[in-house]
Amino acid sequence: MLRLIGFGFKLVFFSAVVLVLSHIVRWDGKTVSDQVRTGLAQAEHVTATSQWLPPILSPVRSWASHLLGDARSGNRRSSASESANESGDTVAPSERRKLQSLIQHSR
């Protein structure tokens, strides 16, 4: 148990040292963290612009685009319902009476 706690402490200490040093150490006029940030931004740009995918990932891509489309349409519907609720739309009086009678009946 003490070994596990010691390992955790060493891991946290090492991570803190790496984070601090990455903000202090300069390389080519930039800190290491800035270099990493720039490298990741370029990698994301290359990944976003490349259309090449291995054949195995093609179904995953189509599934993800379908899922994204569903999320966007659900967001539009949700925004529309929120704006309708904010505009003061109320329940029809006949529906209100039915609901009230149902509540009274259930008591």
pLDDT tens-digit series, residues 8-58: 999 999 999 999 998 888 878 888 888 888 887 777 665 555 566 666 777
Using a 10 angstrom Cβ sphere, with 0-12 exposed, 13-18 middle and 19 or more buried, the burial of residue 103 is exposed
Give the pLDDT band (50/70/90) at residue 105.
confident
- Residue 25 three-state SS: coil
Query: Which residue carries 């319902």 as its tokens?
Result: 81
Provide DSSP, 86-105: HTT----HHHHHHHHHHHHH
Number of neighbouring beta carbons within 10 Å of residue 17: 10
